[in-house]
Structure formats: structure tokens, C-alpha cells
Amino acid sequence: MGLLQGASELFPVSSLGHAVLVPSLLHWSFKQSDPSFVPFLVLLHLGTATALLVIYRDQWVAIIRGFFTAAFRGSMQNDNERLAMLLLVGTIPAAVLGVFLESRIKMLFASPYEAAGFLIVNGVLMLVFEALRRRAEGRVAAQAQSRTEQEEHFAQAERISFRAAAIVGACQALAFLPGISRSGVTIGGGLLAGLRHEEAARFSFLLATPVILGAGIVEVPQLFSKSVPIGEYLAAAVLAGVAAYASARFLLHYFRSGRLDPYGWYCIAAGVVSLALLRFSL
Amino acid sequence: MKSNSLAVGLGVLGVVFIILAVLYAIGALQLFTSGPGSHYKHAILLVVLAVASFVGANFARVKTV
């Protein structure tokens, strides 16, 4: 589960959807309705967040410093200060929706059928994001010879507008639905906002870190208060972190020229196959 | 957008968020919660919203040199 979550968290394929689906399909003994299931997933998310903090450690130091400097000065004077404020604006919508609608959303967690259905929706979304991006590329990058040249016509994360950052941030809340990928919708949102693929992925990963850490801080104490195998869970969290580190490195390289389409098709196929397996109890 | 009125509004909003955070923390407010008791998650979020409001207020106020 640790490796699965860590690998699927940053790929635009919904880690939560996989965490709900795979145990059901493989008849693992995880009880998804168990109160410790969500805190366990959050512990795995903490492993992922740690991997992201390691990858972007220098950037986070600059962002945190930039946040306090800009907050006290009351203005932004460099890219790090702007990025800090963009991340604040982008984080708030998901945090508000997550906290106030959490109990209702959790009711959807237990059903693998819904996870499979949302996985298909996620795949369609990825294909739509890329179709819209191709249209934008047709307008601004028609003369470009290669994918790298096409990407150069689009912006870096620091240049995204505050309105777009808020919308991308709000999209994160969709990921509370199992099957909808947080990184998928935020990378897609970043693409629609005019970011390069690699920059959309970077913004997505930076945006994820405070939400995942925040969720972890409030949920982990619940995990320790129950009779759960903490040692095994922590080992799973470490594995999740290692897998997430490798995934993030791969994706940042992949998105220099790659697109979301393969992940979209994967999600549609995985959703359809999962629905069939669940329906016929294979 | 610079405006002292907006800055005051955001400052007041920040104070309201702080009050709501305290009410959630002591369990006096149960709106959008899963059950009775203290709701630290809601309280932490409201503190973050208060900080964001105060930062916004500082950005919005007209600076005097």
C-alpha cells in the first residue's frame, strides 16, 4: 500500500482511487470503512509530503522567507514572494472545502464502484485538459518545431495569476473524491492557466505539500489513539516517501516534453476494468 | 487594489475568523462538524484564514512613506 500510494500520489491517476480499489480487487484485509483507514492514508501522504519537501527544500526555504517578508512589507518584490502568496491563495479553497465538507466526502470513500467511476471521469478530464492545451498551442506556438519549443511559449509557475491560482487550488478539493487525481486536476488547471507542463507539475507539487502536511498533522493523532500496527504503518509511510521521491523526479523530467494523455487513457482503462472486475466479482 | 477601507474590512474579517477559531476550539460552535466536542481542525483552518486576512489587509492599505 505504501509503494502504491507513493507511486500513484504524484502521478495524475488518483492515489486515493487506487487505495480504495486495489485492496478490494486483490481482497486485501483493509477495511475501508474502518475509522483508521483515512488516517492511515494520511500517514502515507505524510511520507509523500516529506519526499516533496526534500525535493523542493531550497525552494521552500525561499518561499517561507518570501512569505514573511512580503506579508510584513505588504508588497511583493520578487518571484519567491509572489510564489509564496500564490500558494497561500491556492491552498485556502481546498483547505476550506476539505475541512467543512470532509465528513460528507468521507462517506464516498468506502465504495470501490464510485472510485472506479470517478477514475474514468479523471481520465476524461486529463484528455480534455490536453485537448484544450493543444488548441492553445495551435494559437501561440504554431511555428514551433519541437515540443520543447512549444513549451517555451508558456509561462513559469510564478507568472500564474492570483485568480487562476485560486481556481487551481479549488480544483484540489475534487481530489477528495476517490478516483479524481489531485495532481491531475491541478496540473490540468495549470495548463489551462497557461503554464508549461513542467511548471504546472511543479506548481501542483508545491501546492500539494501544505495541504497534505496539514491534513496529516490533524489526522495522525487519531491513528495513534487506536489499536493499529504503528510499526507497519510507519514502514509503509517510508516506502510511500521513497516511491513519491522517485515518481516526482520522473514526472518533472517527463513533463519537459510529455503530456497528460497516457495517464488519461490509463485511468479510463483502469476504471472500466475495475468496474468489470467488481461487477462480476472476479 | 489599494484602499484603506478594504484594509479595515479585511482586518475586521481576520478578527472574526479568530473569534470563530476560538469558538470551534472550545467546542462552542458545531457548524459543519461531525459531532459535538472541540474541533481543532476547524480552529486551525480559521487561524490560517485570519492570517491570510491580515496579510491581505497589509497588502490593501495605502502605504505612507
Distance from CA of B65 to the nearest CA of A (A): 12
Residue type, A228: V
Instruction: Please give the pLDDT value at position A191.
Output: 92
* B65 Cβ under 8 Å from any chain A Cβ: no
Contacts of A71 in chain B (CB under 8 A): 55, 58
Give the integer Cα–Cα distance in Å for A151 and A148.
5
CB A273, CB A37: distance < 8 Å: no
- Which residue matches cell numbers 517561507? A64
Provide the residue ranges of all domains of chain B, joining segments of one domain with +. 4-60
The pLDDT value recorded for residue A130 is: 94
Nearest to A208 by CA among A20, A1, A51, A2: A51
Please name the residues between 95 and 124 in chain A that touch chain B, using a CB distance below 8 Å.
95-96, 99-103
DSSP characters over A192-243: HTTB-HHHHHHHHHHHHHHHHHHHHHHHHHHHHTSS--HHHHHHHHHHHHHH
**pLDDT (0 to 100) of residue A153:** 82
Which of B34, B39, B48, B61 to probe by mutation at the A interface, max A CB count within 10 Å?
B48
- Minimum CA–CA partner of A104 in chain B: B34
Q: Name the residue among A183, A15, A214, A181 with its Cα closest to residue A96.
A: A214
* Other CB atoms within 10 Å distance of the CB of residue A215: 23
Whole-number pLDDT of residue A102: 65
pLDDT of A227 reads 65
Nearest-CA residue of chain A relative to B35? A103
Does the distance separating the beta carbons of B58 and A101 come in below 8 Å?
A: no
Chain A, residues 35-74, CB within 8 A of chain B, namely 70-72, 74
pLDDT per residue rounded down to tens, chain A (282 residues): 788 878 888 898 887 677 777 777 777 766 656 666 666 777 888 888 899 999 999 999 999 999 999 999 989 999 999 999 999 999 998 888 888 876 677 666 567 888 889 999 999 999 999 999 998 888 876 666 677 888 888 888 888 889 889 888 888 888 878 888 889 999 999 999 889 999 999 999 999 888 888 777 777 776 666 666 777 888 888 999 999 999 999 999 999 988 999 999 999 998 898 888 888 865
- B1-60 per-position pLDDT tens digit: 778 899 999 999 999 999 999 999 998 888 777 777 778 888 988 999 999 999 999 999
User: With contacts defined as CB-CB under 8 Å, which chain B residues touch A95?
Assistant: 45, 48
d(CA A61, CA A66): 8
Residue type, A56: Y
Q: Provide the whole-model pTM.
A: 0.86
Angstrom distance (rounded) from CA A128 to CA A260: 10
pLDDT attached to residue A143: 63
- B3 Cβ under 8 Å from any chain A Cβ: no
What is the length of chain B?
65
